[in-house]
Structure 1
């Protein structure tokens, strides 16, 4: 059901984009909008991972991996049936993480120093497994395309104000103003709906990859609490990347729930706890012992 809903939302985004092109310049404008979207998406497809990692000043984890993060990612990627992604760390006290890349062979997982300092090894494993689930489900590519569409729709809607659409039956001034405001709003809502749909799917798949739904449930609660009280300046400067993180890096109390890029953390945790309750009969696989090994208490780091 999640994939079907994502496909329908993507179709709606495409139709909205082409519809704005038609309003602006008739059938020729619709074709131009489609060609422009293809070009923009091709550029984003190849360069989105580098751009977003640069935006957040992510640095690759090298030989000084004192936390054993690379080994954990390797073990979990093996459990998920994925090639080893690149591993990055972001220097910020807010606990958070995201995955990026156009496909599993060109993927990266980035975690913040706040996550490594504040979460236990089990919780970090749950977070990493969630991000690997996004890579396996190819959500990173889907979200890149929808973000590009949303930006292009906003650009075209602004053109409607300046050019007024087709002379033979164009929207006029009032119609252009409505288009300028409503089209980006609709695109943003579709983008957020896709993001929320994919988060639930990644939670479930991540719990299966690490073998312990409660690891991820506990991590989500701690991540949400940290994101609500700790500023993340790079994310505030680049709000278009907020949907990529496991929890919203922007302060939730400043935004209406209608425009939330993520489903309610409480709802996500409840689903994971239900999953944990039925784990004994559902055959949830167990990750390798190397990845699961953790200290008895306290943060990892």
Structure 2
């Protein structure tokens, strides 16, 4: 009897292990899609209604806002799968001073929050101690996240909100992207290349037409990416310096010549004027300039 009980326990453990591995593989299943870096707005009051749900009330708004900004990082990573799923990775600080974290998600415009679990993707350190990177599933890119956690130094639970926005293409925040492992644009490019290869074997003229079309599409894509906020792209159009024509060069040359000529002419005039003044003063005595009518009156009186 004991032997059967031991075997039954072993089978139960094996079944639990298989179910655990099955759940894990579902969580990290690779998907194609796009990755976006984003800014995370953090607020003590509800960003739409303005309601303060925390027990500190509106009178603690300034203190609460400072705590929220210290608890949640301002940068995040949004993964959007081709199936239409949204996963936000955010960084939470003050881990050493908090516990019992709970998260719920509300689509902007709706009234209810739906409780949502989180998955830890990384750990780190900052000025406030230990940090954790957590991934949560959103209903859309416009979702609002409600956070409730127990703060040990305060001895109570606190409630606040945060939400993503200001998206830019690519991962520039250094967080791990685990759900989206293949870019949709790469998959589309691969399909286009296969289609192009087939067209090349059938018709050379079609190849030329398709190549021109792809060039136009690439230019259009480059232009749209160049306008993406916060991106510095190697595909951005390069600015070129306009070469001066011969007529433009000649105008510049003439301006230089005229400037030099006017300066030289001014120096010559100054030299001539100085020579005349010097010559006049040198011959003053010879021309009788040393006597005037007052000198004659003085001589007559003597």
Computing the radius of gyration over CA atoms, which structure comes out larger, 1 or 2?
Answer: 2
TM-score grouping bracket, smaller chain normalisation: under 0.3
* TM-score between the two structures when normalised by the length of structure 1: 0.24
User: Which of the two has greater strand per residue?
Assistant: 2
User: Which of the two has greater helix per residue?
Assistant: 1
